[in-house]
Structure 1
Amino acid sequence: MADVHMVRHRRPRLFRRVDRQETDLMDDEVRRRYRFSTDNIDRLVGLLEPTLRRRTRRNQALTIRQRIMLTLRFLASGAFLQIIGDTFGVDIATVSRVVTDVTNSLFALKDMVIRFPVTDADRRRVMTGFFEMRGFPGVIGCVDGTHVRIISPGGPDEPSFVNRKGFHSLNVQATCDHKGMFTSVNACWPGCCHDSHIFRMSKLGQHMANHHQDPERGYLLGDSGYPCRPFLLTPFLQPESEAQERYNAAHIGTRNSIERAFGVWKRTFHVLHSEEGSSGPPGKLIRTCVPSTQPITPGNPLISKKPVITRRLSASVTGNLITISLSANKLFVTSVTTRDTVAMSTPKVSPIIWRKAPEARNLKVNMIRCRMV
């Protein structure tokens, strides 16, 4: 019987890199795909070049800019590594190595861009910014938690990662300043942990308990899930006076900064919504948080698919009804600001009619906000 020899043929290397990703795109197209403008990607290249530079003589090596753009595309889309590799014309193993290297380099910047206000000058600056928002004095930050979906880690501790919503997650605690910049991030706790427990056990909670018992040094704002402390103010659950209602209104309007920061963070990096992108260690969440909050790369507004337009139109008031006639039927009115009330959105019809609040007097329409459809 003749011997049969099986010869293994190596797969040929195919260099099918697509340079269009960085050469043929306009600035707004770059921002849509990578969540950063071209100028700010150049700033990232300058910041990460010392740690990402490699001594190689390969003629097909990825440049630092290509590696950063590949990682930003992965963080912005939350797609599979294979899809990212097909987009850039590289192998999936290359994508895995590049994403790991760039996220590690971004993580090294955390102490430079995520800083809690500890000096008197920083505290006064943040206090002034929060006071100008809704007139709430002494606020140095807003604290809250958000769930980031992950793949089931398995093992005996797997049930602890299931949150109250029924999926596996990490409960990430963060604080932000008046500009929506994160000043602290804690991504070490499973989804079953309560926000108050995470705050009590975190270094931030211990720092506030040790150094901010005096209200003059500032305090944080939290929702009703946190206990009320001299350094952590929460809203009244059942306000009994007008003063308490005004306090709640100012509290809610100021504390919404952290809610908006979470929204921008997750909207910027869709990998935080994807199980495939969040299966790594908890530190990876901080790594993705760094570029979205760093003040060294300003000017990265999200591209809204439906821009908001402010228009001043006339309106007629009959009894308790507001009637507005729009000539452009492709505008969707989202709100009407009057002297005494703000009317919410309605279906796209013309004329548009709102029922104003009974207590509103001397009604006069000041501004109408519309959205393209």
Structure 2
Amino acid sequence: MDGESAWSEASGQAKISPLLSFYRLLLDVMLCALRSSLDLCLVLLRHQHERRKRSREWIASYRKVLRSKGRRRPRYAARFPRKRLVRPHWYALAEVGNPRRWWVYPCRKHWWEKFVAEVWDADRWIENFRMSRGTLFSIVEVLRPRIERQRTVMRAPIATEKRVAITVWWLANKECYRIVGQQFGVARSTVAEIVLEVCFAIDVDLLRKTVCLGEVDKIMDGFGHLGFPHCIGALGETLIPIRAPLRQAEEYRKQLCSVLLQGITDHTGRFIDVEVGWSSLNHDAHIFRNSSVCAAMDAGAFVPGNPTIAIGGVQVPPLIVTRGCYPMRRWLMKPYRDPDDSRRSLFDDRLGKAHSVVECAFRRLRARWRCMTVLPVTEENATAVVMACVILHNICEERGHVVQGDLCETQAVLSPADEGTYQCSDDDCCSAAGNSVRDAISTFMQTPQTGP
């Protein structure tokens, strides 16, 4: 019997406990509703008090005006005119704010549609957009399937041409989102959204079409005219200041918060490979060793066919010239540390002349896209914006859009400090092969060449 009674008591408690939890939940709901009701009553009382106060002030001021004019107050003037408006406390009850005065704030319209797109000539387009009208609209047609918005019964979407124009204007002119929004008649938040969206679309749709090797024979002939044989590119880098991360602002207070743009250009200054996204705290050689172009050149897969020539009994692959902080490779040429004879001095002079191509390309890149002075985006969005600038730079270079001289004079290339060669475990064997190729080329340069 004792066991049965204990079991019955336990089952009774098990049945009572759900009821207790239900009543407790019901009590909490009632307390919450009561608290909300009390808060609403306080809001209503406060609103009624303010309304009566404004009514008394209005009647007093009206009587004062009548006394000052010596007139008798009409019988109906004591009544405060009541307007049938939706009271603010109903919006408080619905937990929404006061109704908007504007769904779309009135702003400048038709500047882009009527004036820029139809009136500006080619010079004004290149001056402000860094490209002609035809170039911009050709980019629009490529990006249209990705960034075009569907037209619905609601407000009309921003046209694709205007989206691309807003982005190119922001990249080309050192202006904030607010100024660009006032220029094109859109909100500041809309400009920020459009800029990132179009930059990501440019990176996805145009990267492989524009940042590529091109015709190898023409590139080698171009560097050959500059005095360096069998060369396909010049390697360089520049620092791009960006906005410091919010959670790491203290760490970047006394040093530059920037990303490093490492690129290879052909003889015309068009980028054929770009590596971006690394922090400037990393060494240039470390970034280059971990890049895709380094692995491709080591495997002989970057240049189609990997053509080699024999110079002084040494097989020379397609070469890339760079400055002294990078490690030696069989295909990567850098100047001598201490040129003690005329042969080495001649090699350094011609290598410097060939390497100046990439320095001028970086100068034109920063002059063409003024946003790169200090990039006002976060670290996770900096890569897409910089890649968009590089892609548009190549398009402008191919179309022959020249950068104005005054822009080039005000833009300086920010290069990282030369901290010496970054040593790695596999540098010894690569340096030996690279030195043999460099000695063969320097001897070839000093030898008088006979030709037609």
TM tier relative to shorter chain: 0.7 to 0.9
Taking the aligned partners of 1:206 and 1:39, their CA distance within structure 2 comes to 38
CA shift digits 1:303-328 (9 cap, x unpaired): 234999xxxxxxxxxxxxxxxxxxxx
- Which ranges in structure 2 are unaligned for 5 or more consecutive residues? 1-41, 48-87, 92-97, 309-314, 410-452
Whole-Å Cα distance in 2 between the matches of residues 101 and 208 of structure 1?
33
Distance in 1 (alpha carbons) for counterparts of 2:157 and 2:328: 56
State the shift of 1:222 in Å: 0.6
Match of 1:9 in 2: 99
Residue 198 of structure 1: aligned partner = 287
Correspondence list, 1:29-178, <5 A: 29-57=124-152, 60-108=156-204, 109-116=206-213, 122-132=215-225, 134-155=226-247, 159=251, 166-178=255-267
- Residue of structure 2 equivalent to 1:224: 324
Of 325, 334, 352, which residue of structure 2 is paired with 1:252? Answer: 352
Instruction: Answer with 44-53 or 72-81: which moved more.
Output: 44-53
Q: Distance in 2 between matches of 1:241 and 1:158?
A: 50
Percent of pairs identical after alignment? 21
- Residues in 2 aligned to 1:306 and 1:195: alpha-carbon distance in whole angstroms: 28
Range that drifts further, 94-103 or 144-153: 94-103
Partners of 2:203 and 2:327 lie apart in 1 by 32
Equivalent-residue separation in structure 2 for 1:156 and 1:254 (angstroms):
40
Report the secondary structure of 2:175's partner residue. coil
> Alignment length, in residue pairs?
300
Name the larger-Rg structure.
2
Alpha-carbon contact 2:220-2:231 (below 8 Å) kept: yes
* CA deviation after TM superposition for structure 1 residue 254, in Å: 0.5
Q: CA deviation at 1:16?
A: 2.9
Contact 1:52 1:102 in 2 (8 A): yes
Greater mean deviation of Cα atoms: 141-150 or 279-288: 279-288
In structure 1, the gaps of 5 or more residues are 309-373
Distance in 2 (alpha carbons) for counterparts of 1:24 and 1:123: 41
Structure 1 residues 76-134: Cα deviation after superposition (integer angstroms, max 9, x where no partner):
113211110011111112212221221122112101111136xxxx33231111112x2
3-state SS of 2:327 partner = coil
- Could you tell me whether the CA contact under 8 Å between 2:245 and 2:378 is conserved in 1? no
Query: Could you tell me whether the CA contact under 8 Å between 1:140 and 1:219 is conserved in 2?
Result: yes
Relative to total residues, which structure has the larger helix share, 1 or 2? Answer: 2
For residue 256 of structure 1, report the CA deviation from its aligned partner.
Answer: 0.6
Q: Return the letter of the residue paired with 2:196.
A: T
Q: Which amino acid aligns with 2:100?
A: R
Is residue 337 of structure 2 the alignment partner of residue 237 of structure 1?
yes
Q: Secondary structure at the match of 1:258?
A: helix
Which residue of structure 2 lines up, in the alignment, with residue 344 of structure 1? none
Post-superposition CA distance 1:39-87 (Å, at most 9, x none): 2112222222222322214564322221111111100113211110011
Which of 24, 27, 38 is the matching residue for 2:119? 24
Q: Which amino acid aligns with 1:55?
A: Q
Could you say what secondary structure the match of 1:235 adopts? coil
Any conservation in 2 of the 1:149–1:170 contact (CA below 8 Å)?
yes
Kept in 2: contact 1:123–1:218 (CA 8 A): no
How has the CA–CA distance of structure 1 residues 114 and 85 changed in structure 2, closer, same or farther, with 3 Å as cutoff?
Answer: same
Question: With structure 1 as the length reference, what TM-score do the two structures score?
Answer: 0.73
Shift of 1:237: 2.2
- 1:181-209 Cα deviation digits (max 9, x unpaired): 11111112101111111111111112222
**SS of equivalent to 2:405:** coil
Aligned alpha-carbon RMSD (Å): 2.8
TM-score, length-scaled by structure 2: 0.61
CA distance, structure 2, for counterparts of residue 72 and residue 190 of structure 1: 25
